């Protein structure tokens, strides 16, 4: 590493520390958190990453159409009666329980007509140009704040120019949450102090990204945000008559924003499920509610790719065609005769990914693990997964930094996430917010299959459009 590069690493690491681009420190061997309040610079790319401008613009263009499809599809009987049925049977302890909760909400009646979607659609470039969707995140879409700062860091250290797009993810996300709380206050003007509840995991290592949002909401909108785990929510007072979630100290949950609840590990007992159920049956505006959450399942992604399905939910055939252009090959398992799909994957396992109904990184199965899983799973168990074409991403040179050192210098691939905000009312055309607000770019060594910064696989970067 040259002296100039050493100086740049020092500047970049110091910039991250100065401006709060931080994550909870982990032991490098065990990957376990060192302590609740011990932080280090988030892993980052020393230089911005070259990214085709046409593909970047295409990904942004799909933001609003996806906002609409998620809202339209999540309130359709198709979601629970067709799209997710197989996965709920193959994954009864998680997806199945979410479906049970959704049906319970419908049976008892929705207590809130407005829902907030903080969506992030993730793409990789297939064969050097076409952005194909990796997944659509409808719950706990993270790193909006830190990715906004990484964009600023790269501009400051490398010289701002028009090829480095502005990233307003943090501002857009805070705006959406603040508008949701304002809507709640309009609905319930006599309610005591309405606040935003951020549902968090115990021992969260990505707390700075969350705290940034908390401080931004307070500074810009005067919004109070409190942090609660699902277990803590189960212990709050639920006023059955008013269907209010009383947090104590005069605070009522006006908006509940999930940064947890997307993995079975967040539901260690019935207590956590009780907390989730209380929220779903309360008057709070949810981000997301259980229907939006389910819509982000891999099985729904695969079902949407079916012939004529997108056309049911998109605003036009043109928007349906635009979204469909982002779909990689998606194949059903555990329904109908899936043997030909299994045989296809076993013949060429390096060309496919086996995906469960999970978020957060580190869950997918590749290569030998894919083969072993398909050979050992029962027909019903396979229904908890989908098979997806492996995106053949183009690579470029990258310099990846962790703890003040370049830990990797070589070929990298990147993944672009586009944040969309949707604040809408069920059963009406009322739209309070429908915007594409920013992006996240993650880069990783080209031989690393998994993604996710918090999971330890990827590094924060920003795009340099070419």
Catalytic residue flag (residue 298): yes
Marked catalytic residue, from 135, 272, 319, 415: 135
Catalytic residue among 272, 319, 359, 415: 359
Mark whether 97 is an active-site residue.
no
Beta strands in 74-210 (DSSP E): 114-126, 130-137, 194-199
Whether 272 is catalytic is no
Choosing from 137, 148, 207, 282, the catalytic residue is 137
CA 249 to chain centre: 32
* β-bridge pairing 385-389 and 330-332: antiparallel
Reply yes or no: is the peptide bond before residue 288 cis, omega within 30 of 0: yes
- The answer to whether residue 360 is catalytic is yes
Residue 142 annotated to the active site: yes
Active site residue 249: no
Calculate the dihedral angle through the C-alpha atoms of 364, 116, 303, 104, rounding to the nearest 10 degrees.
Answer: 100
Catalytic residue among 355, 358, 444, 464: 355
**Which is catalytic among the residues 20, 360, 361, 456?**
360
CA distances from 157 to 7, 10, 64, 129 (A): 11, 11, 32, 28
Q: Which one is catalytic: 149, 228, 298, 358?
A: 298
Whether residue 108 lies in the annotated active site: no
> In the block, which residue shows the tokens 């199965």?
365
CA 25 to each of CA 34, 215, 398: distance values in angstroms, whole numbers, following the listed order: 6, 21, 23
- How far apart are alpha carbons 70 and 79 in whole angstroms? 10
Catalytic residue among 117, 120, 176, 319: 120
Contacts of 437 (CB under 8 A, 6+ apart): 168, 169, 171, 172, 173, 175, 176, 419, 420, 421
Asked about 324 being catalytic, the answer comes back as no
- Whether 26 sits among the annotated catalytic residues: the reply is no
Given the residues 424, 442, 444, 464, select the one marked as catalytic: 442
Catalytic residue ranges? 120, 135, 137, 142, 298, 355, 359-360, 442
């Amino acid at each position: 590493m040259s002296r100039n590069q050493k100086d740049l690493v020092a500047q970049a690491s110091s910039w991250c520390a100065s401006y709060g681009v931080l994550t909870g420190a982990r032991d490098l061997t065990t990957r376990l958190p060192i302590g609740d309040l011990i932080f280090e610079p988030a892993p980052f790319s020393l230089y911005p990453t070259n990214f085709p401008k046409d593909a970047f613009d295409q990904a942004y263009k799909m933001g609003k159409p996806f906002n609409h499809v998620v809202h339209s599809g999540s309130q359709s009987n198709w979601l629970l009666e067709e799209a997710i049925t197989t996965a709920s049977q193959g994954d009864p302890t998680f997806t199945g329980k979410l479906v049970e909760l959704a049906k319970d909400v419908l049976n008892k009646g929705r207590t809130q007509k407005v829902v907030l979607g903080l969506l992030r659609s993730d793409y990789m470039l297939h064969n050097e140009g076409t952005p194909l969707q990796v997944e659509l995140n409808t719950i706990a879409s993270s790193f909006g704040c830190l990715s906004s700062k990484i964009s600023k860091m790269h501009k400051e250290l490398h010289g701002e120019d028009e090829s480095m797009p502005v990233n307003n993810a943090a501002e857009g996300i805070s705006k959406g949450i603040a508008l949701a709380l304002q809507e709640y206050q309009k609905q319930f003007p006599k309610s005591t102090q309405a606040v935003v509840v951020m549902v968090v995991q115990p021992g969260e290592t990505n707390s700075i990204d969350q705290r940034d949002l908390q401080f931004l909401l307070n500074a810009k909108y005067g919004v109070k945000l409190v942090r609660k785990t699902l277990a803590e929510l189960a212990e709050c007072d639920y006023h059955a008559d008013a269907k209010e979630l009383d947090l104590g100290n005069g605070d009522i949950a006006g908006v509940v924003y999930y940064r947890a609840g997307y993995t079975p590990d967040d539901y260690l007992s019935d207590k956590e499920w009780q907390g989730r159920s209380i929220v779903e049956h309360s008057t709070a505006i949810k981000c997301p509610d259980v229907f939006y959450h389910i819509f982000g399942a891999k099985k729904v992604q695969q079902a949407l790719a079916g012939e004529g399905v997108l056309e049911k939910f998109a605003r036009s055939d043109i928007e349906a065609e635009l979204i469909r252009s982002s779909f990689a090959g998606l194949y059903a398992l555990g329904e109908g005769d899936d043997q030909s799909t299994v045989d296809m994957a076993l013949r060429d396992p390096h060309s496919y990914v086996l995906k469960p109904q999970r978020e957060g990184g580190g869950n997918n199965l590749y290569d030998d693990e894919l083969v072993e899983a398909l050979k050992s799973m029962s027909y019903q168990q396979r229904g908890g997964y989908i098979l997806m074409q492996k995106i053949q991403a183009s690579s470029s040179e990258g310099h990846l930094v962790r703890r003040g050192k370049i830990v990797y210098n070589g070929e990298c691939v990147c993944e672009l996430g586009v944040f969309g905000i949707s604040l809408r009312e069920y059963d009406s055309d009322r739209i309070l917010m429908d915007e594409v607000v920013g992006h996240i770019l993650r880069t990783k060594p080209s031989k690393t299959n998994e993604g996710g910064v918090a999971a330890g696989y990827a590094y924060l970067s920003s795009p340099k459009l070419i």
